[in-house]
Structure 1
Amino acid sequence: MEDRVTALTDLDKRWLTEAVRLREEHAGPLEDQEANRRARQAGGDLPARIESRALWLAERDGMRSALQHWKQGARLALAALVVLAVLSGAGLALAALGDSLRPVNVFWALGSLLGLNLLLLLGWLLGFFFAGEQGASLGRLWLWLSEKFARDAQAAHLAPALLVMLQRQKLNRWLLGLLVHGLWLLALGTALVMLLILLATRRYGFVWETTILGADTFVALTQALGALPALLGFSVPDVAMIRASGDNQPALELARQAWAGWLLGVLLVYGIVPRLLLAALCLWRWRSGRARLRLDLKLPGYSQLRDVLMPSSERLGVNDAAPDALPQIVRGVGDAPSEGALLVGLELDDKRPWPPALPATVSNAGILDSRESRNKLLEQLSRFPPARLAIACDPRRSPDRGSLALLAELARNAGATRIWLLQAMPGQALDADRLGDWHQALEQLGLSYADSAPLNWLEHGHD
């Protein structure tokens, strides 16, 4: 499973984490004891542990494979939209030039090529600046097609999780913007290529027609629209050509070429270039924003995991300021009778066989790896303090302040306490410096320690 998880991108990991949160929010908490234990064992800060827990649950419950199915469906949906864009672009070109049997009305052709594009572009800009959402219809179509193509029951929370995660970081506008502008760029690019093919293989005449406007209006409009394309080398009809086209005399060869160049230039400058620039902007903002995606730890589904994944003994060692001195052990058993012997492990690796074979008079208190288990044992010790308490610690871990404070608290509730510093398992090695830190810290606490099992001491009270 670990090899498959490493193949996930950072976005996939956060996506699955959000999907698991939504699933638990709607259907209730999942059975997650093993996932929590593995997350604590993996270590790291709280977001890393939440992510580790979610990935294990996603793998167990099939959401990991559902994500792959959903992404395959998304690619198929995108391919369908790409085909639609290509066909639409070819249709725009054919509608603009017609069958070459009749002269082409240049401004009608221009409206066919750019009219819908400019209207939707204006709508996108208005939605971007005023509504904060854009491309919603196309985005919903893409998500709907993705779910239809995925056909996986476990993918039900994936699309909502993606939207929630992106909306929280305001990245949905850039992703959908990239989709919208990319498809329009493809459609207009196809239209440009189709225009070149038609103009290269057919003879078209160009005219402009009007009933209420004068020739000067079309002259001014044509030259204004052709100013920017002219800077890129596209031809622009001169005044005589424009007026001649208005007289329904399209047969001049130079006029045909000038109008064809003008139409191509206007399509490129006012249709393709704006979409290209906006697509590049959306791509840049999407990539930069995606790298900053983080879990929102204030959400209830994540905040409730803090105590489970970050036991207080760990958090004390990381977050609290260093005390002037280590806690002093003052025996708190008082007049309460203390009897029996107890062995407990502190945050031991699950790969270590535990517990060892114990004498009949020695009880096993399990492994302390959470706030709940710690509080439960402390409550038990306060009511029934043992005469002898042995605490097994893994010296590969650093003796942080939280762990030492817990050892002192446990020792206060026992008649006598001894720390068992476990030997390394086969294939592992102990850090001599870290082991020395343990010795120094335990001596300051006044706790005795040994590197061999204190079973005889637990059973008889002496070695």
Structure 2
Amino acid sequence: MTDAITRLSSLERLWLCEAVRLREEQAGPLDDGEANRRASAAGGELAQRIERRALLLAERDGLLDGLRHWQQGARLAALVLLVLAVGGGAGLAFAALGDGLRPVNVFWALGSLLGLHLLSLAGWLLGLRFAGGGALGRLWLWLSGKLARDARIAQLAPALLLVLERRRLGRWALGLLVHGLWLLALLAAAVLLLALLATRRYDFVWETSILASDTFISLTQALGALPALLGFALPDPEMIRASGDSALASEAARRAWSGWLLGVLVVYGLLPRLVLCLLCVWRWHHGRARLRLDLELPAYRLLRERLQPSSERLGVLDQAPARLSEPLGGVPSAAGSGALLVAVELDPSRPWPPVLPAGVANAGILDSREQRQRLLDQLSRFPAERLLIACDPRRSPDRGTLALLGELAHSAASTRIWLLPPPPSEVLDSARLGDWHAALAGLGLSWSDRAPLNWLESGHD
């Protein structure tokens, strides 16, 4: 595989597998002959073969580049939301304190700072069993697709959500985004609130028409109890009662109300979002390590027999017919011209083709039915004088391969089979090699375990 594929994380690999599956469900099966062959030749468990096949198809069809474009769009979308979060937090602080020309109603200020945050938090908690991303999460996904501007990414966002929902990670991933943005917004609000309180003089007051003053005193002290444990100021009951009549001009009152307002923002705004961010990070890492392909999906069950057959016999596969097509005779020598080398189902790790003499053409490697039919059609119009077919004797000489050899031999004046040597670290199975010899003898084809390149070039050894 290329470096671009090997650098992918485990999540990105699963993501592309799911995107390829969705594409095949919507547009029909892809042309995957070469990808299946390479995935099977690489070995491993079924999940590894399915993953390798999907990555090869994703790279071939441009889905891998689409993934990079989507990620770039996602980063740009996150940056846009971060800027909006900082601007929104600053707006909350200005809305809470006003211009300083009139007294600040402490509960209106508190509502401006925490009202939308608490509504968003309640909505996220109520919807935790469903998605957990909320409007901000959906906005980020939509904006990511728009900024990517790539037609190949249609399946990427749905595929990502499907992968994450296998371990219910979608709510934690989007939840991390939502709580992170709110944390940044509230942090910006707290910083600007502190800056405004440090550089301007604000008077604080509370007002009511139907509630008793004792209600505001109890509520103020209840809200300020937890911040007071962290060292934030808490107005005493007399100061709270006096602030209901008019704004106190004393410095102590301003400092007490300012500390109370900051403390409530930190304890009921910043800290809950920080805790939820850490929770989402922990759940994300815990669930991500357990992500796996769902091999019970119908699309993956169909790939099982193609990538990892339930059984594989040694020797000749399938019961051969009583008589295979005889290649003896071929085409007349005068009808054929030129020399041709072709290989059948070679391992992709094997270097190919070898250095060929001048005048010898290379027909490549036949892996798919389409490639075989194309070569047979070509040879039917322009037969070869000499045809050398390279086969890997580590594979079983199944009926389909032998039938192909017979058809190819019919298209040349003279045909030979080259049984390739194994890699240096391997040894050929003697029983399987004997099956090859017997099968080729039954077809009447001569074979060699060395490259007959002299014969291919000149017609004699």
Q: Same fold (TM over 0.5)?
A: yes
Measure how far apart 1:11 and its partner are: 1.2
What stretches of structure 2 of length at least 5 have no aligned partner? 329-342, 357-364, 373-389, 403-417, 448-461
- How has the CA–CA distance of structure 1 residues 224 and 338 changed in structure 2, closer, same or farther, with 3 Å as cutoff? closer
Rounded to whole Å, the distance in 1 between the matches of 2:98 and 2:227 is 24
2:254 aligned residue: 256
Structure 1 residue matching 2:128: 3-state secondary structure:
helix
Amino acid at match of 1:62: G
1:197 aligned residue: 195
1:104 aligned residue: 104
200-209 or 210-219: bigger deviation: 210-219
- How has the CA–CA distance of structure 1 residues 353 and 178 changed in structure 2, closer, same or farther, with 3 Å as cutoff? closer
Aligned pair partner of 1:349 in 347, 350, 356 = 347
Rounded to whole Å, the distance in 1 between the matches of 2:54 and 2:325 is 43
2:331 aligned residue: none
2:190 and 2:262 in contact (8 A); partners too = yes
Amino acid at match of 1:283: V
- How has the CA–CA distance of structure 1 residues 82 and 347 changed in structure 2, closer, same or farther, with 3 Å as cutoff? same
1:62 aligned residue: 62
What stretches of structure 1 of length at least 5 have no aligned partner? 318-325, 358-365, 374-389, 395-402, 412-419
Measure how far apart 1:459 and its partner are: 4.0
1:348 and 1:393 in contact (8 A); partners too = no
Give a deviation string over 1:177-233, Cα, whole Å, max 9, x none.
111111111111110001000001001111111111122111111111111111111
Rounded to whole Å, the distance in 2 between the matches of 1:125 and 1:44 is 43
Structure 2 residue matching 1:203: 3-state secondary structure:
coil
Aligned pair partner of 2:158 in 160, 168, 173 = 160
Rounded to whole Å, the distance in 2 between the matches of 1:352 and 1:17 is 29
2:85 and 2:182 in contact (8 A); partners too = yes
Q: Where do 1:33-432 residues align within 5 Å?
A: 33-129=33-129, 132-310=130-308, 312=309, 315-316=310-311, 336=322, 348-350=346-348, 351=350, 392-394=392-394, 422-424=420-422, 428-431=423-426
2:326 and 2:443 in contact (8 A); partners too = no
- How has the CA–CA distance of structure 1 residues 243 and 145 changed in structure 2, closer, same or farther, with 3 Å as cutoff? same
Rounded to whole Å, the distance in 1 between the matches of 2:296 and 2:446 is 49
- How has the CA–CA distance of structure 1 residues 333 and 186 changed in structure 2, closer, same or farther, with 3 Å as cutoff? closer
Measure how far apart 1:12 and its partner are: 1.2
Rounded to whole Å, the distance in 1 between the matches of 2:73 and 2:326 is 63
Give a deviation string over 1:29-62, Cα, whole Å, max 9, x none.
1111111112112221111111111111111111
Give a deviation string over 1:358-409, Cα, whole Å, max 9, x none.
xxxxxxxx98999xx9xxxxxxxxxxxxxxxx99533xxxxxxxx88x889x
2:412 aligned residue: none
Measure how far apart 1:300 and its partner are: 2.1
1:28 aligned residue: 28
Measure how far apart 1:340 and its partner are: 5.6
Amino acid at match of 1:286: W
Measure how far apart 1:64 and its partner are: 0.9
Rounded to whole Å, the distance in 2 between the matches of 1:120 and 1:10 is 33
Output the TM-score relative to the length of structure 2: 0.74
- How has the CA–CA distance of structure 1 residues 196 and 456 changed in structure 2, closer, same or farther, with 3 Å as cutoff? same
- How has the CA–CA distance of structure 1 residues 449 and 303 changed in structure 2, closer, same or farther, with 3 Å as cutoff? closer
Measure how far apart 1:339 and its partner are: 9.0
Rounded to whole Å, the distance in 2 between the matches of 1:457 and 1:280 is 73
Structure 2 residue matching 1:316: 3-state secondary structure:
coil
Measure how far apart 1:82 and its partner are: 0.9
- How has the CA–CA distance of structure 1 residues 298 and 221 changed in structure 2, closer, same or farther, with 3 Å as cutoff? same
Measure how far apart 1:430 and its partner are: 2.2
Amino acid at match of 1:165: V
1:40 and 1:49 in contact (8 A); partners too = yes
Rounded to whole Å, the distance in 1 between the matches of 2:424 and 2:281 is 48
- How has the CA–CA distance of structure 1 residues 252 and 369 changed in structure 2, closer, same or farther, with 3 Å as cutoff? same
- How has the CA–CA distance of structure 1 residues 153 and 216 changed in structure 2, closer, same or farther, with 3 Å as cutoff? same
Rounded to whole Å, the distance in 2 between the matches of 1:264 and 1:254 is 15
